[in-house]
C-alpha cells in the first residue's frame, strides 16, 4: 500500500453521532415486531415514514379530531424524519422515562395498610382523584380498564405494576 493511502487524509470525514445505534438492543424481537406493526398502521401511505398526514389520519381513525397544531407538536418530538428507527427511539426514550418497578409498587404500598398487595378500587379512585396530580374519573376508569381487579373490587397493584413494566402474559 502506498504511503498516501496508509497515512490517510489530513482532514478525515467525521461521522455524525448516531444516538439510535443501540435502540434495537433495548427491546426483544417480539416487542420490535409489535412496534413495527404499530408503525405500519400509522404509516398510512406506506412510504416508510410517518408524516403529518399519516399521524392525523391515524388519530382520525381512532375517533379524534386533532388540530394541525397538536399534530405538529407531536411530530416535533422527532428530531428528523420519522422512520421506523426513529419511531423505536422515541418509544425507547418514553419507556425508559418510567420509574423502576419497585418504586411504582412502593408508591401503591403506602396506601395498603394491611400489606396484602391490594387496594380496594373505591379507595384507589378516591386517592387518585383527591391527592397529588389529581386524575379525573374518566382517567381512573381508563386506568382500571383491563387492570387486575378481583370480584370484590380489590385492585392488585403488584400485578398491575408487573403489567406496566413487562406487559401482560399474552404479550
Distance CA 14, CA 130 (A): 54
- The angle that helices 84-95 and 29-42 make with each other, rounded to 10 degrees, is 120
Write out the H or E segment, with its range, that includes residue 115: none
The predicted structure's pLDDT at residue 16: 38
- For 4, 8, 15, 16, 147, the CA distances from 11, given in Å and listed in that order, are 13, 8, 12, 15, 58
Q: Tens digit of pLDDT for each residue in 124-166?
A: 999 999 998 899 999 999 989 889 999 999 999 999 988 877 7
The predicted structure's pLDDT at residue 20: 43
Candidates 42, 122, 1; CA nearest to 34 is 42
- Tracing cell 379507595 back to the chain, one arrives at 123
Residue 83 has φ and ψ, to the nearest 5°, of -90, -175
* Average of per-residue pLDDT values in the chain: 83
Residue 135 has φ and ψ, to the nearest 5°, of -85, 155
Distance CA 99, CA 165 (A): 9
Strand-pair category, 118-120 with 154-156: antiparallel
- More confident call, 27 vs 127: 127
Question: 10 Å Cβ neighbour count for 25?
Answer: 8
The predicted structure's pLDDT at residue 84: 93
Among 7-21, 32-46, 50-64, where is mean pLDDT lowest?
7-21
Q: Tens digit of pLDDT for each residue in 68-90?
A: 999 999 898 888 889 999 898 88
Distance of CA 24 to the CA centre of its chain: 15
Burial of 88 (0-12, 13-18, 19+ CB in 10 A): buried
**pTM for this entry:** 0.47
b/e map of 147-160 (b: 16 or more CB within 10 Å)?
bbbeeeebbbbbeb
Amino acid at each position: 500500500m502506498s504511503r498516501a493511502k496508509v497515512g490517510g487524509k489530513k482532514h478525515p470525514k467525521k461521522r455524525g453521532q448516531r444516538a439510535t445505534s443501540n435502540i434495537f438492543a433495548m427491546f426483544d424481537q417480539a416487542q420490535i415486531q409489535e412496534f413495527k406493526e404499530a408503525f405500519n398502521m400509522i404509516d398510512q401511505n406506506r412510504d416508510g415514514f410517518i408524516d403529518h398526514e399519516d399521524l392525523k389520519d391515524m388519530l382520525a381513525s381512532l375517533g379524534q379530531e386533532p388540530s394541525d397544531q397538536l399534530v405538529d407538536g407531536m411530530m416535533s418530538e422527532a428530531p428528523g424524519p420519522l422512520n421506523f428507527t426513529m419511531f423505536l427511539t422515541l418509544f425507547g426514550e418514553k419507556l425508559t422515562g418510567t420509574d423502576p418497578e419497585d418504586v411504582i409498587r412502593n408508591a401503591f404500598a403506602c396506601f395498603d395498610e394491611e400489606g396484602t398487595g391490594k387496594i380496594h378500587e373505591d379507595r384507589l379512585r378516591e386517592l387518585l382523584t383527591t391527592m397529588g396530580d389529581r386524575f379525573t374519573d374518566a382517567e381512573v376508569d381508563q386506568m382500571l380498564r383491563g387492570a387486575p381487579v378481583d370480584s370484590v373490587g380489590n385492585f392488585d397493584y403488584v400485578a398491575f405494576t408487573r403489567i406496566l413494566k413487562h406487559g401482560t402474559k399474552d404479550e
